[in-house]
Amino acid sequence: MSASTEVKAPVIVLVRPQLGENIGKAARAMLNFGLTELRLVSPRDGWPNPSAGPAAAGADEVLEQAEVFETLAEAVSDCANVYATTVRKRGVTKPVVTPEEAAREVHAAPGRSAYVFGPERSGLETEDVALARAILTVPINPAFASLNLAQAVILCAYEWSKGAALVQPTVEDLLPPAPQEELEGLIGHFEALLAPTKYFFPESRAAATRLTLRNMLTKPGWNSLEVRTMRGVLSALGRPARPE
C-alpha cells in the first residue's frame, strides 16, 4: 500500500499532547488506516517520549518521522485545508463538518490537509480553532461525549481511508451461486426422497408444498460446493437404515 505517500493523505497534528502514551496510540490509529505523517505542537513532556513507543504497538515509523513545532501556525503552514476537531461545536462562524464530510473534502481538495487535535483534557483553544478553515465534529451521543484522543484520530483516519485506494473489495472470494441446473438437481433430489413419504399429501396441497420447498432452496444462493454437500446429506438420509 502506498496510500500514505499519496499527496492527498492528510497530516495529523496533535496540539500540546499531554501523555506520550496517547501520542503512541494516535500513531497506531493513524497507521491502521494508512496515515503516516504526524506533527506535534509543543508536546508537554518533550519529544521523543519513552511512553509513546510501547503504546504505538508497532507503528514506530510514524513516531520516528514525527515532526515537532512550536506553534500550530507553523505546524500547518504548508496545509491548505485545516480541520480543527472539537467534540462540540464552538460559537464560531466556521463550517462544521463530520469526519465523513471532511474526508470527502480532503480527497477532493487540491492542497494538503491537516486534522488538528487538542490536548487530552481541554481540547483546542479558541486561538487554535481560529487557524482552521473548518471545524470537524464527530456526531456523538450528547449524553456521553467521552471520546479520547486516539479514538477521535481513528475515526478521522478510518473515514479518510474509505476514499483511499487501500480499501479492497470485500466479497471477492465468495463462490457464485450454483448454476440453475445444479439447483434443479438438488430440488429433484429432495422431491424424489420426499415422494414416498407422506410429505406431499394431501394431493390438493402438493403443488403449493413443492413451491414452498423450491422457494426455500433457491433462497440461500448456495454455490456448487454447497449444493454438492447438501446432496451428500440427502444421499446419507436416503440410504436404507442399518439392518434392524
- Sites for a second copy among residues 31-90 (CB under 8 A): 31-34, 57-59, 89
Beta carbons within 10 angstroms of residue 117's beta carbon: 26
Contact status, residue 154 vs residue 33, Cβ threshold 8 Å: yes
Q: What sign does the dihedral 30-32-37-43 (CA atoms) show? A: positive
Which residue in the set 70, 93, 110, 181 belongs to the binding site for a second copy (CB under 8 A)?
A: 93
User: Is residue 187 involved in binding a second copy (CB under 8 A)?
Assistant: no
Burial per residue of 154-164, b for 16 or more beta-carbon CB atoms within 10 angstroms, e otherwise = bbbbebbbebb
User: Is residue 139 involved in binding a second copy (CB under 8 A)?
Assistant: yes
User: Is residue 233 involved in binding a second copy (CB under 8 A)?
Assistant: yes
For a second copy, give the closer residue by CB, 69 or 87.
87
User: Is residue 105 involved in binding a second copy (CB under 8 A)?
Assistant: no
We find the least distance from the C-beta atom of residue 126 to a second copy, in angstroms, to be 17
Which residue in the set 47, 151, 189, 231 belongs to the binding site for a second copy (CB under 8 A)?
A: 151
Query: CA–CA separation, 164 vs 66, rounded Å?
Result: 22
Residue 166, all three cell numbers: 487501500
By CB under 8 A, the count of residues binding a second copy is: 76
For a second copy, give the closer residue by CB, 21 or 75.
21
We find the least distance from the C-beta atom of residue 227 to a second copy, in angstroms, to be 9
Residue 89 buriedness (CB in 10 A; 0-12 / 13-18 / 19+): exposed
Which residue in the set 7, 70, 121, 146 belongs to the binding site for a second copy (CB under 8 A)?
A: 146
User: Is residue 238 involved in binding a second copy (CB under 8 A)?
Assistant: yes
For a second copy, give the closer residue by CB, 68 or 166.
166
For a second copy, give the closer residue by CB, 61 or 125.
61
- Beta strands 96-97 and 134-136: pairing type? parallel
Cis bond leading into 48, ω under 30°? yes
